[in-house]
Amino acid sequence: MKSKVILYTAVSLDGRTTGFSVDMGLFYSLVQQWGEDASLVGCDTLLNAPDEIPEDEESEVAEITPSAEDSRPILVVPDSRGRLKSWHYWRGQPYWKGFVSLCTESTPPEHLEYLKQKGIRTITAGTEHVDYKQALEELSSQFDIATVRVDSGGTLNGVLLRAGLVDEVHLLVHPALVGEASQKTFFRDTIAEQAGEIALRFLGSELHSERILLLSYAVVK
């Protein structure tokens, strides 16, 4: 049984994810309503983090065993190619209680060793690319993850939506039009053959700060 998947993104009125000022305080205050057990964050999202990340001290650390009383989610990052080398930094952030890297059979052995040294749990799902259906099932069975919130860019969102793995879509719509100032959208198809309608059922809307609208939909299966 796979976890419930919630896609939540801040967008402009024309669907862009960059090129406008996001109310981050409001964005993260609304996250709590879904009671996520895991945050699925795209590898590129972390690689492109604006903050300067300190160098790794290259020390070996123990794997974290979350306590049952800790209500924080775990951080889950797909990284089949072994590109993320800043786990020492993300482990030090206070937002998550545990850490999992989604790997594949082709993930370099030296990266798997690096993850072991940094105390990062792994799930191997897929051969070349992460098999997200299998990964979500493993998150549910191994870590008792009931709800996953996707915090990522349009490519991962698109992969999950096209695979029929997303249950709900929530868009925090800001009153701005970005246009050609940004090509980044919250839903991007990477394969032309994937084009086609994904039907949604309206769940509701909420107006915040008299200007920002939260639109909520269920994905029609």
The pLDDT of residue 193 is above 70: no
pTM exceeds 0.85 for this model: yes
pLDDT of 20 over the 80 cut: yes
Of the two residues 218 and 63, the one the predictor is more confident about is: 218
Average pLDDT over residues 64-86: 90
> pLDDT digits over 95-153, tens only?
999 999 999 999 999 999 999 999 999 999 999 999 999 999 999 999 999 999 999 99
Judged against a pLDDT cut of 80, whether residue 57 lies above it is answered with no
Report CA dihedral (136, 153, 45, 93) to the nearest 10 degrees: -60
137: helix, strand or coil: helix
Distance of CA 211 to CAs 26, 173, 206, Å?
12, 9, 10
Q: Is the pLDDT of residue 30 over 90?
A: yes
The answer to whether 13 touches 171, Cβ cutoff 8 Å, is no
Q: Answer whether residue 115 is part of any domain.
A: yes
CATH of the domain at 173: 3.40.430.10
Residue 30 tokens read as 């609304």
Better pLDDT: 167 or 189: 167
- Residue 55's pLDDT band, with cuts at 50, 70 and 90, is confident
In-domain check, residue 61: no
Buried b or exposed e, range 151-186, using 16+ CB within 10 angstroms: bbbbbbbbbbbbeebbbbbbbbbbebebeeeeeebb
**165 located within any domain:** yes
Q: How many structural domains are present in the chain?
A: 1
**Res 50: pLDDT:** 67
Q: Which residue segment(s) compose the domain that 81 sits in? A: 4-45+70-219
